Amino acid sequence: MVVPKHGVFTTRENKVYQMKKLLVSAIPALALSIAVGTAQAGETLDAVKAKGFVQCGVSTGLPGFSVADDKGNWGGLDVDVCKAVAAALFGDAGKVKFSPLTAKERFTALQSGEIDMLSRNTTWTLTRDSNLGLNFAGVNYYDGQGFMVSKKLGVKSAKELSGASVCIQAGTTTELNLADYFRANKMEYEPITYDTSDETVKGFEAGRCDVLTSDQSQLYALRIKLSDPNGAMVLPEVISKEPLGPVVRQGDDDWFNIVRWSLFAMLNAEELGVSMKNVDEMKGSSDPNVRRLLGLEGIKGEGLGLADEWAYNIVKQVGNYGEAFERNVGSGSPLKISRGLNALWNNGGIQYAPPIR
Amino acid sequence: MSDQPSDAMTPGKPAPWNDPKIRAIVFQALLVGAVVMVGFYLINNTLYNMEQRGISTGFSFLEKESGFGVTQSLIEFDETHSYGRTFIVGLLNTILVSVLGIFFATLLGFVMGVARLSRNWLVARVATAYIEIFRNIPLLLQIFFWYFAVGINFPRPKQSYAIGETLFLNNRGLFMPRPVAEDGFGLVIAALVIAIVGVFFMVRWAHRRQDATGQPFHTVWASIGLILGLPAVAFLAAGSPLTWDMPELRGFNFKGGMSVLPELFALTLALTVYTGTFIAETVRAGIQSVSHGQTEAARALGLREAPMLQLIIIPQAMRVIIPPLTSQYLNLTKNSSLAAAIGYPDLVAVFAGTTLNQTGQAVEIIAMTMAVYLTLSLSISMLMNWYNAKMALRER
């Protein structure tokens, strides 16, 4: 558009200019409507089979749960769930593509069909299960919210935190639990809400806030990102229940079942003592439970529409739940988180999977 | 037969399908119809799909309790207030940072724009360096710089910089005493209003007097005297009805008083410094567009530097400056949405961020947020167009 020499728009040019501005502002709105419009309900399984890989939403980088190494390979407990689904579906755990998402982006990405499943340390709540058009397929990590403070602060309990500034990541249940906890204990606080976990850590390190709050597993993970991990400590209080698990779109039952039972297969494998190393020997086992898991007898893969060795592939390529836990967040990792609630039900924890039969 | 020649002679009425006016109306109607239909289809399709997938729709979520806290709010807000109120809180914070940014960027831009034309070598080069550096660094990086490198790198609250035990600067912000109005403070406000109205009439009177007699009047000094003096007299007359709420360190943070958060500081500074460069260039272009002959003519009339700038140069330069200045104001307002990156609770961070995530109603919330930016931008546009029309060349 040519601006008149004196820099003054004539009335007519002005109108055209304003109309253009209006149109430009309207485009994102249209994009949003179209994005919601094109994804189709109930057909994820077919679409995934047709394209030949699972598009899995993960975090932008949370050590132990979903993080990319220097070669760009993703690993972690949440990533292993995606890989298990790919192994069950395609017999190849490598057929996964990952979409790193912030807490704010994750549900929209799943609702709009940009990703097939979300495995991103996401808390299962009533609102999310009912209002967002999503379904939680299970729990792969039982977590709870805690607080991390600098040791220099000299605070021993979360009850001493009245008046503190608190760094949080936006778009999480953490924000709500924090508000509830301080309200319930009649304490004041100043919330500093950042967009990504990296900024949250930077704000905490610079002393913008006294406390960093998040799920405890994340606190341990974020602590090793600090320049001086030993200068910070996690307070003993756990102020919430945070069952984290994979999420799929609602109304897509075949797909939902596959994701849910991929997780259950990992748990059942641990319970039955079937691991990555011994899975081939276990094929010779006479235990009917093991034989059903490995697709040698019983319902096999037909109920899920999968190959008979679907669970065998998961264990062979990804491992059982215990192996995935130890490798990513447990003793085999820098996080060194103990099994705690996440031990199997017969071992002092609450991880429990329905039987494969 | 008789009227046939006149038909051929007068260029008058062509057939309806050849009439440019009718054609224009038909095409416009078709276009509007198409736009409405596409819009209708998209809305319908979205609603259908959302219903199919059990995603809740509608605006009833605005009345539900929000359950989360916000650092900075210009109105009363806590966890028990509704999601609808988070919208207002975010909106006011966006407006606050935009207004502050526009004010300071305009000041900085005008000073730097004039400085760049200065005959003083050093002043001109400093202005050039400022413009070339800050215009060419992405805004987000500048925000990060002012926040992570400056804003939160002040000492911790216990080691605050203190100025006379009233002003405290630390990495939680700048804390200062807050004036608390007591009974009788209304008189001071009334005096201020009277002073402002008085100044308005005085300026009009002074203009008329100058038009009639050629005698200028010291309006600036008289205005300052009136606006400061009258409330001061009223303040003393009412018996100093003002106390100060002093900030003091209690526990982790300062309590009481007023504070400027480091997030607000960093964001305002970044927006000011960045947009100031563009305004400076606009101002320089405006001043340079006034031909040198005007300056010479003014000198020939015997005008001194200040009246020459005020009466001859600036009014003509403003005509060139205002339209691009409007664009800069719009840019600044829209750029303020980068606030989310450093945790400043603006509309995008609070409402299109936290509220969106807690409720999951993306379509409604994004639509409301877009409507806000559109409304803000159109309001600024209208205001500036009005000002532009006022300043535009009046052809007589």
The DSSP annotation for A245-303 comes to: --EEETT-HHHHHHHHHHHHHHHHHHHHT--TTTHHHHTT---HHHHHHTTSSTTTTGG
Q: Which of A131, A189, A249 sits opposite B56 (nearest CB)?
A: A131
A141-143/A242-244 β-pairing = antiparallel
**Contact across the interface for B370 and A39, Cβ inside 8 Å:** no
Angle (deg, nearest 10), helices B185-213 and B219-237: 160
Q: Is A29 an 8 Å CB contact of chain B?
A: yes
- Find out whether A110 and A118 touch, Cβ atoms under 8 Å: yes
The DSSP annotation for B22-65 comes to: HHHHHHHHHHHHHHHHHHHHHHHHHHHHHHHTTB--SSGGGGSB
What's residue B10's pLDDT?
59
Strand positions, DSSP E, chain B? 161-163, 167-170, 173-176, 178-181, 242-245, 248-250, 253-255, 258-260
- Measure the CA dihedral B11/B14/B20/B23, to 10°: 180
Q: Is A108 an 8 Å CB contact of chain B?
A: yes
What's residue A55's pLDDT?
96
pLDDT, average across residues B226-238: 87
Q: Is the dihedral of CA B280, B282, B285, B286 positive or negative?
A: negative
Helix, strand or coil, per DSSP, at residue A132: strand
Contact residues for B111 (Cβ-Cβ < 8 A; gap 6+): none
The CA distance from B384 to B391, in Å, is: 10
- Which residues of B are less than 8 Å from A208 in CB distance? 152, 171-172, 262
Q: Is B70 an 8 Å CB contact of chain A?
A: yes
Helix, strand or coil, per DSSP, at residue A123: strand
What's residue B29's pLDDT?
95
What's residue A42's pLDDT?
53
A98-102 long-range contacts (CB < 8 A, ≥24 apart) are A98/A56, A98/A57, A98/A58, A98/A66, A98/A68, A98/A74, A99/A55, A99/A56, A99/A57, A99/A58, A100/A58, A100/A59, A100/A60, A100/A61, A100/A66, A100/A68, A101/A57, A101/A58, A101/A59, A101/A60, A102/A60, A102/A171, A102/A195, A102/A196
**Contact across the interface for B252 and A210, Cβ inside 8 Å:** yes
A117-118/A54-59 β-pairing = parallel
Burial class (CB in 10 A: 0-12, 13-18, 19+), B215: exposed
**Which residue from A123, A134, A126 is spatially nearest to A245, judged by alpha carbons?**
A123
Q: Is A39 an 8 Å CB contact of chain B?
A: yes
Q: What is the mean pLDDT of chain A?
A: 86
Q: Is B42 an 8 Å CB contact of chain A?
A: yes
Q: Which of B53, B262, B349 sits opposite A249 (nearest CB)?
A: B53
- Which residues of A are less than 8 Å from B386 in CB distance? none
- Find out whether A134 and A247 touch, Cβ atoms under 8 Å: yes
Q: Is B256 an 8 Å CB contact of chain A?
A: no
How does pLDDT run across B93-143, given as a tens digit for each residue?
A: 999 999 999 999 999 999 999 899 888 999 999 999 999 999 999 999 999
Q: Is B377 an 8 Å CB contact of chain A?
A: yes
Q: How far is A35 from chain B (nearest CA, A)?
A: 9
- Find out whether B91 and B372 touch, Cβ atoms under 8 Å: yes
**Contact across the interface for A6 and B320, Cβ inside 8 Å:** yes
- Find out whether A221 and A197 touch, Cβ atoms under 8 Å: no
**Contact across the interface for B340 and A170, Cβ inside 8 Å:** yes
pLDDT, average across residues B229-257: 83
Question: What is the ipTM score, two decimals?
Answer: 0.74
Q: Is A289 an 8 Å CB contact of chain B?
A: no
Tracing tokens 């040698």 back to the chain, one arrives at A296
Q: How far is B308 from chain A (nearest CA, A)?
A: 21
B153 or A283, higher pLDDT: A283
Mutate to test the interface with B, among A9, A22, A33, A252 (most CBs of B within 10 A): A33
B280 or B51, higher pLDDT: B280
What's residue B180's pLDDT?
84
B354 or A30, higher pLDDT: B354
- Which residues of A are less than 8 Å from B253 in CB distance? 163-165, 190
The CA distance from B103 to B85, in Å, is: 27
What's residue A11's pLDDT?
43
The CA distance from A320 to A151, in Å, is: 37
Spell out the domains of chain A, with CATH numbers in brackets.
44-142+244-344 (3.40.190.10), 145-240 (3.40.190.10)
Residues 221-250 of A with CB under 8 A from B: 249-250
**Which residue from A77, A263, A249, A163 is spatially nearest to B248, judged by alpha carbons?**
A163
Q: Is B260 an 8 Å CB contact of chain A?
A: no
**Which residue from A81, A98, A88 is spatially nearest to A49, judged by alpha carbons?**
A88
Q: Is A111 an 8 Å CB contact of chain B?
A: yes
Angle (deg, nearest 10), helices B121-135 and B83-116: 140
A319 or B159, higher pLDDT: A319
- Rounded to 5°, the CA angle A187-A193-A196 comes to 140
Structure tokens at A193: 């809400």
What's residue B234's pLDDT?
86
Q: Is the dihedral of CA B91, B94, B100, B103 positive or negative?
A: negative
**In this complex, how many residue pairs, one in chain A and one in chain B, have their CB atoms less than 8 Å apart?**
175
Name the residue ranges covered by the structural domains of chain B: 83-169+252-391, 178-245
Q: How far is B92 from chain A (nearest CA, A)?
A: 17
Mutate to test the interface with B, among A10, A105, A131, A194 (most CBs of B within 10 A): A131
- Which residues of B are less than 8 Å from A128 in CB distance? 360
* A211 phi, psi to nearest 5 deg: -130, 145
Q: How far is A178 from chain B (nearest CA, A)?
A: 8
What's residue A28's pLDDT?
41
Helix, strand, coil % in chain B, rounded to nearest 5: 70, 10, 20
Q: Is A203 an 8 Å CB contact of chain B?
A: yes
- Which segment of A34-38, B315-319, B348-352 scores lowest on mean pLDDT? A34-38
* A298 phi, psi to nearest 5 deg: 80, -150
Cα-only R_g, chain B:
28
Structure tokens at B33: 């119809």
B126 or B226, higher pLDDT: B126
Amino acid at A236: P
Q: Is A190 an 8 Å CB contact of chain B?
A: yes
- Find out whether B52 and A251 touch, Cβ atoms under 8 Å: yes
**Which residue from A305, A303, A307 is spatially nearest to A294, judged by alpha carbons?**
A307
How does pLDDT run across B184-218, given as a tens digit for each residue?
A: 788 888 889 999 999 999 889 988 888 888 887 88
Structure tokens at B80: 């028990």
Burial class (CB in 10 A: 0-12, 13-18, 19+), A149: buried
The CA distance from A138 to B54, in Å, is: 20
B383 or B395, higher pLDDT: B383
A99's enclosing H/E stretch is: strand A96-101
* H runs (alpha helix) in A115-225: 126-130, 173-184, 197-205, 216-223
- Which residues of B are less than 8 Å from A28 in CB distance? 366, 370
What's residue B360's pLDDT?
81
Task: Give the count of beta carbons closer than 10 Å to the beta carbon of residue B190.
Answer: 13
Q: Is the dihedral of CA B277, B278, B279, B282 positive or negative?
A: positive
Q: Which of B54, B253, B374 sits opposite A251 (nearest CB)?
A: B54
How does pLDDT run across A273-296, given as a tens digit for each residue?
A: 999 999 999 999 999 999 999 999
- Find out whether A224 and A205 touch, Cβ atoms under 8 Å: no
Q: Is B357 an 8 Å CB contact of chain A?
A: yes
Burial A299-322 (b: 16+ CB within 10 A, else e): ebbeebebbebbbbbbbbbbbbbb
- Which residues of B are less than 8 Å from A36 in CB distance? 45-46, 49-50, 363
The CA distance from A91 to A306, in Å, is: 10
**Contact across the interface for A108 and B362, Cβ inside 8 Å:** yes
Q: How far is A262 from chain B (nearest CA, A)?
A: 23
Share of chain B above pLDDT 70, in %: 96
What's residue A22's pLDDT?
43
Q: Which of B55, B79, B370 sits opposite A28 (nearest CB)?
A: B370
Structure tokens at A87: 């192994």
Q: What is the mean pLDDT of chain B?
A: 88
**Contact across the interface for B385 and A175, Cβ inside 8 Å:** no
Q: Is the pLDDT of residue B255 over 90?
A: no
Q: Is B390 an 8 Å CB contact of chain A?
A: no
- Which residues of A are less than 8 Å from B171 in CB distance? 206-208
Which band of pLDDT confidence, cut at 50, 70 and 90, is reported for residue B4?
Answer: low
Maximum separation of any 2 CA atoms in chain A, in Å: 92
Q: Is A43 an 8 Å CB contact of chain B?
A: no
Domain range B83-169+252-391, CATH architecture: Orthogonal Bundle (1.10)
Helix, strand, coil % in chain A, rounded to nearest 5: 45, 15, 40
Nearest chain B residue to A41 by CA distance is B53
Q: Is A16 an 8 Å CB contact of chain B?
A: no
**Contact across the interface for B323 and A9, Cβ inside 8 Å:** yes
Q: Is B393 an 8 Å CB contact of chain A?
A: yes
**Contact across the interface for B357 and A172, Cβ inside 8 Å:** yes
**Which residue from A1, A178, A41 is spatially nearest to B66, judged by alpha carbons?**
A178
Which band of pLDDT confidence, cut at 50, 70 and 90, is reported for residue B162?
Answer: confident
Q: How far is B52 from chain A (nearest CA, A)?
A: 7
Q: Is the dihedral of CA A157, A162, A163, A165 positive or negative?
A: positive
Cα-only R_g, chain A:
24
pLDDT tens-place values along chain A, 357 residues long:
344 444 444 444 444 444 444 444 444 444 444 444 444 445 899 999 999 999 999 998 888 999 999 998 999 999 999 999 999 999 999 999 999 998 878 998 998 899 999 999 999 999 889 888 899 999 999 999 999 999 988 888 999 998 899 999 876 788 889 999 999 999 989 899 888 888 888 899 988 999 999 988 888 888 888 888 888 988 988 999 999 999 999 888 999 999 999 999 999 999 999 999 999 999 999 999 999 999 999 888 888 999 999 999 999 999 999 999 999 999 899 888 889 899 999 999 999 999 998
- Which residues of A are less than 8 Å from B392 in CB distance? 6, 8
